């Protein structure tokens, strides 16, 4: 069954130029037929729509949380934008984020924003290796709060690689869910992207379907 919110999000990402097709080298050294660059949600209108998708997915998921935490750097903008949209929908939640470098003057420390306490939801664009998630969990636990989940824009649903580059049987999202024990809430997945390409009437987009299917068959979980 097609997920209407996910389909809407994929269409928006393609239209915004955030989701592109062609040949792109991933961090793992794979040649991917698509590339999702959340850094290109780079104006008020696009960022507002992105926040709307996150907020709608979170509200629909029923995942309980008390505040948002955005890991530096992309997570900072996401946490702020999504907290605004959640408040607009009647769910006013505080947010915080971290600095890459600790500040030794003013309020000091590495955490900025609302006091980090209660059930803390980590927000990011994608989960590539789970490293950022582990770092965020450590920061949240260090101040006595409880990390309760992760929300991302796109789940690539592909096999992770370890530090030596060896291919794993699980994806980075599955690692976070199964090994770390943290629920992950994604706006859309690679399966949703394939569904979109299969349904679109635009022949230029349809043309990329075989390559994305082949990539999923080779690297998918």
| Cβ–Cβ < 8 Å for 125, 154 | yes
**The predicted structure's pLDDT at residue 103:** 59
Closest CA to 63 of 188, 185, 155, 187: 185
pLDDT digits 0-9 by tens, 81-123: 999 999 999 999 999 999 877 655 555 578 999 999 999 999 9
State mean pLDDT over 117-131: 91
For residue 124, give the H/E element and its range: none
Q: Point out the catalytic residue in the list 15, 25, 91, 103.
A: 103
All structural domains of the chain, each given as residue ranges with its CATH number in brackets, are 4-219 (3.40.50.2020)
pLDDT digits 0-9 by tens, 16-38: 999 999 999 988 889 999 999 99
Share of the chain above pLDDT 70, in %: 95
Closest CA to 186 of 156, 153, 220: 153
How many other C-beta atoms are found inside a 10 Å radius of the C-beta of residue 67?
Answer: 22
pLDDT digits 0-9 by tens, 156-182: 999 998 878 889 999 999 999 999 999
pTM, rounded to two decimals: 0.93
Mean pLDDT of the chain: 93
Calculate the dihedral angle through the C-alpha atoms of 220, 148, 133, 34, rounding to the nearest 10 degrees. Answer: 30
**The predicted structure's pLDDT at residue 209:** 98
User: What is the CB-side half-sphere exposure of residue 181 using CA atoms within 13 A?
Assistant: 2
105 is a catalytic site residue: yes
208 is a catalytic site residue: no
Q: Sorting pLDDT into bands at 50, 70 and 90, what band is 131?
A: confident
Q: Point out the catalytic residue in the list 27, 100, 105, 159.
A: 105
CA 37 to centroid of chain Cα atoms? 11
The DSSP letter of residue 175 is: I
**The predicted structure's pLDDT at residue 100:** 79
Any long-range contacts for 113-116 (C-beta under 8 Å, 24+ apart)? 113/79, 114/67, 116/67, 116/69, 116/140, 116/143, 116/145
């Amino acid at each position: 069954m097609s997920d209407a919110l996910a389909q809407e999000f994929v269409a928006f990402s393609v239209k915004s130029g955030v989701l592109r097709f062609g040949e792109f080298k991933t961090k793992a050294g794979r040649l991917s037929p698509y590339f999702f660059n959340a850094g290109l949600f780079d104006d008020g209108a696009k960022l507002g729509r992105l926040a709307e998708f996150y907020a709608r997915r979170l509200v629909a998921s029923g995942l309980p949380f008390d505040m948002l935490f955005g890991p530096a750097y992309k997570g900072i903008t996401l946490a702020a934008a999504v907290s605004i949209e959640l408040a607009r929908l009647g769910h006013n939640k505080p947010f915080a984020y971290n600095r890459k470098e600790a500040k030794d003057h003013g309020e000091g420390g590495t955490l900025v924003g609302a006091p980090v306490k209660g059930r803390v939801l980590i927000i990011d664009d994608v989960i590539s290796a789970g490293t950022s998630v582990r770092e965020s969990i450590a920061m949240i636990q260090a101040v006595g709060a409880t990390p309760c989940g992760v929300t991302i824009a796109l789940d690539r649903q592909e096999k992770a690689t370890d530090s030596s580059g060896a291919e794993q049987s699980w994806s980075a999202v599955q690692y976070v869910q199964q090994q770390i024990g943290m629920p992950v809430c994604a706006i859309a997945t690679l399966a949703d992207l394939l569904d979109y390409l299969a349904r679109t009437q635009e022949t230029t987009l349809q043309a990329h379907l075989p390559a994305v299917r082949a990539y999923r068959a080779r690297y998918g979980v």
